Amino acid sequence: MVEIILDKTRNLKYGMRAIDRVENKLNTKISKIDMNDLSMKELATFIWAGLAHEDNSLTPEKVMDLVDEYSNITEVTDKLLEAINQAFTNGEPAKNA
């Protein structure tokens, strides 16, 4: 999990459930999403999915409002990428094949 400060301290967590939420909301496989070129809809969807485990009342639209009011796009994107990296590497650097 990765801590993120919005209206309060929250924790981004990406497991199977969160990834499934992203895929269903965006109607595509996560492997098809360019993490280096996210739209605002994609960014909000990823943040929403990563926070839903502790607050199921959130929506991607509410996440956009929280980011606008309490943070900024660069900071939340950095936190998102850190949390996604942890999910797929257990927080360890990727190994060369």
Report the domain count for the chain.
1
Residue 32 within any structural domain of the chain: yes
Per the structure, the complete domain to which residue 11 belongs is given by: 2-89
Closest by Cα among 53, 45, 44, 59 to 15: 53
Q: 97 lies in a domain?
A: no
What tens digit of pLDDT does each residue of 26-71 get?
999 999 999 999 999 999 999 999 999 999 999 999 999 999 999 9
Task: Dig out the tokens for 20 from the structure.
Answer: 């499934």
**Residue 96 above 70 pLDDT?**
no
94 assigned to some structural domain: no
Q: Examine residue 84 and state whether it is found in any structural domain, yes or no.
A: yes
Whole-number pLDDT of residue 92? 60
Q: Kindly calculate the radius of gyration of the chain based on its CA atoms and give it in whole angstroms.
A: 13
Identify whether 60 is part of a domain: yes
Task: State pTM to two decimals.
Answer: 0.88
In whole angstroms, what is the distance from residue 55 CA to residue 27 CA?
A: 22
Do the domain assignments include residue 96?
no
CB 83 within 8 A of CB 3: no
Classify residue 17 by burial, with Cβ atoms within 10 Å: 0-12, 13-18, 19+: exposed
Q: What percent of the chain has pLDDT over 70?
A: 93
